[in-house]
Amino acid sequence: MKKNLGLVIKDNEVLSFDEYKNIIDKLILENRIDKLKLQSNYFDITNNFWIVDKYIAKNGQFSSENFPNTLDTYKLAIDEGYAICIPVQMLDDGNIVCFSSKNLSKVLNTTSGYINNLSLHELKTISLNEKNEKIPTLEEALDFISNKTPIIIEIQNEGMIGKFEDKVLSCIQKYINTYNCFNRVAIMSVNPFTLQYCFEQYPYITRILKSGNLQEKTYGSISSKKLKKLKYYKITHADFICYSAELLPSRIITKYKPVGILAYNVCTQSQYLNVAPHCDNIIFCNFKPTI
């Protein structure tokens, strides 16, 4: 038996969602939620051990031959046994799609420009490759993955908080209800106010704060310098920190004592071996990590 925060969890016990939800609600009510990540039985309670145990494929892409964020690429990642990190953006008509680049013209032979200025109908006229693959909506991606592997949804929001996050959370809740997989979904964002909002609206999903080598610009009123130094970490109630691999190790992270550290954008085996002593897992692309 293990006892932490007044919670008794039997060895090898797997909590149902209702049991887990009751624990989280109680900790929030008692203003002790941030102590959860300091407990030795954290993974017994959350059962989200995959975040540190299972390699995570950025955009589903583990080979330079795979176009990122297509359903075929997600299938290949699933077949290889990887979890998947899926970036999402909101279109002009409010639809949520899975794609990382903000300007389509920089990565595709198109003049369409910024993705958030397009409607879903306009976006679906654009082909990603010679196989005529299209950018999937988040609903399409979740229907396809159907709990075959754990996922991180990276919310790329540099604008107003609320509408975008609500749509993502709605998709996630539907997914969780369908597959009973609350412990196999996590949310990640650079924007601390996105994570703060998600915590306030639906605190039962693991949150990951992403930072590191950011461009010199602002996210709302927050400068990149402050984000890099994790100045807003407390408001996110995040259990994990994802940081640029090239900046690890970092004293900025260790003082916050997260449950785990993820190295982001690990692109080669040699880079993985160099960063492995300083992180608990990696989000990788363009190679198959081995250790």
Do 64 and 198 fall into the same domain? yes
Residue 206's DSSP bridge partners are 186
| pLDDT tens digits for range 222-231 | 888 899 999 9
What total of structural domains would you count in the chain? Answer: 2
Do 205 and 75 fall into the same domain? yes
Q: Which CATH number is 123's domain given?
A: 3.20.20.190
Phi then psi dihedrals of residue 27, to 5 deg: -65, -40
Bridge-based pairing of strands 222-223 and 56-58 is: unpaired
Do 171 and 236 fall into the same domain? yes
Phi then psi dihedrals of residue 233, to 5 deg: -55, -40
- Kindly report which listed range (6-10, 31-35, 187-191, 231-235) carries the lowest average pLDDT score: 6-10
Do 37 and 140 fall into the same domain? no
The residue range of the domain holding 5 is 1-47
Other CB atoms within a 10 A radius of the CB of residue 93 amount to 11
* Contact by Cβ (8 Å): 188, 242: yes
Do 10 and 109 fall into the same domain? no
Within-domain flag for 290: no
The whole-angstrom separation of Cα 66 and Cα 79 is 14
Q: Can you tell me the mean pLDDT for 172-196?
A: 97
pTM for the whole thing?
A: 0.94
Within-domain flag for 289: no
Omega before residue 136 within 30° of 0, cis: no
| pLDDT tens digits for range 86-123 | 999 999 999 999 999 888 887 777 767 789 999 999 89
Do 31 and 91 fall into the same domain? no
Q: How confident is the model at residue 1 (pLDDT cuts 50, 70, 90)?
A: very low
Within-domain flag for 291: no
